[in-house]
Homo-oligomer: A and B are copies of this chain.
């Protein structure tokens, strides 16, 4: 039976690049922040090799920018995240889980200090705008919160720097990871950051004039022809191999950052006012689950995501993919910590898998077998 189509409507919002995405032969979408996000163009595997070898242009408009501006903007943002944001530099991106008073993860955005008292929260898939507005209203804070008219376009892959330099000029190579510069495109300054949802390197261009969306797309393809540029999107194979987490998949509001291995982004000892810190301080080291990797030696399919040890349910699979490079089936699973202490193998839908740490250490897993 054919895969179900996505019924597109105004509610599954199109983007300034959608006509080009369609013309490029998009094969699948997901819906992310009520907006279309392309998932593949050729096959996921073809896209993977192109991303790893060459360069791709991704319509990631769905990474909506929630702008929080005004005198109380830092105070509100610090309440929302347990990561200390006091040392942020203008133009810097900062990965920061947002957590509620129970420590549950509301979102895991990149926070960008765009100017003094003007932040962009580059969000994963939940309505952060509503949470921020509710908090601000309830607390009587002096902030302005809106979904900014900004439409990120990612250029990812080993040849991304070369391509973005051809379009945005010689300042591009000097941009460090998670830093940005305001660079002109057709006379209009736009933020260009070294970032993106892959480990193949690249940039995100924060387009702020929809009339320039198609010219920018076209110029990237014109100037990237010899680089084998193609349309792509966040690639399931690449992101799982690279251990990049996906909010809504690998973690939800029912999980806390410790369970997801995000300890490094929680400043437990900081002297800051953050609504989740009391709960997180109490939880640290005592959380019940842990996200781990599972490795299967064969291609598998699951009808049921529950992870078993003998007859006990000990976790569930959150993401999964066949890795053509390592010839292993990889999964991320949220598991009971007490079980992890003295077990190394499990079964999912009758298939035997091995538990490994995240991110995957392929040298240990496959030795010399890499394709």
Minimum Cβ distance to chain B for residue A4 (Å): 5
Stretch of A50-58, A128-136, A214-222 at the chain-chain interface: A128-136
Q: Which of A112-127 contact B (CB under 8 A)?
A: 125-127
**A6 proximity list for chain B (CB < 8 A):** 3-6, 28-31
Stretch of A8-16, A165-173, A186-194, A279-287 at the chain-chain interface: A8-16
CB–CB A30/B9 < 8 A: yes
- Whether A368 is near chain B, meaning CB under 8 Å from some CB there, is no
Give the total of A residues in contact with B, Cβ under 8 Å: 50
CB–CB B137/A275 < 8 A: yes
CB–CB A130/B134 < 8 A: yes
**Complex CA–CA separation, A247 to B132 (angstroms):** 21
- Whether A174 is near chain B, meaning CB under 8 Å from some CB there, is no
Identical chains bound together, number: 2
Given contacts A130-B128, A134-B135, A275-B137, contact A30 B10 (CB under 8 A): no
- Whether A39 is near chain B, meaning CB under 8 Å from some CB there, is yes
**A11 proximity list for chain B (CB < 8 A):** 30, 125, 246-249
- Whether A324 is near chain B, meaning CB under 8 Å from some CB there, is no
**A2 proximity list for chain B (CB < 8 A):** 5
Minimum Cβ distance to chain B for residue A31 (Å): 4
List residues of chain A with CB under 8 Å of any chain B CB: 1-12, 25-31, 34, 38-40, 100-101, 106, 125-128, 130-140, 236, 246-249, 275, 305, 318-319
Could you say which of B1, B30, B318 contacts A12, with CB atoms under 8 Å apart?
B30
**A305 proximity list for chain B (CB < 8 A):** 10
**Complex CA–CA separation, A139 to B137 (angstroms):** 8
Minimum Cβ distance to chain B for residue A370 (Å): 26
Given contacts A5-B3, A249-B10, contact A34 B125 (CB under 8 A): yes
Could you say which of B9, B28, B125 contacts A249, with CB atoms under 8 Å apart?
B9
CB–CB A27/B10 < 8 A: no
CB–CB A39/B130 < 8 A: no
What are 21 of the A-B contact pairs (CB < 8 Å)? A1-B25, A4-B27, A5-B29, A7-B39, A9-B319, A10-B248, A11-B125, A11-B248, A11-B249, A31-B31, A126-B127, A130-B134, A131-B133, A132-B134, A133-B134, A134-B134, A134-B135, A134-B137, A135-B138, A137-B138, A138-B139
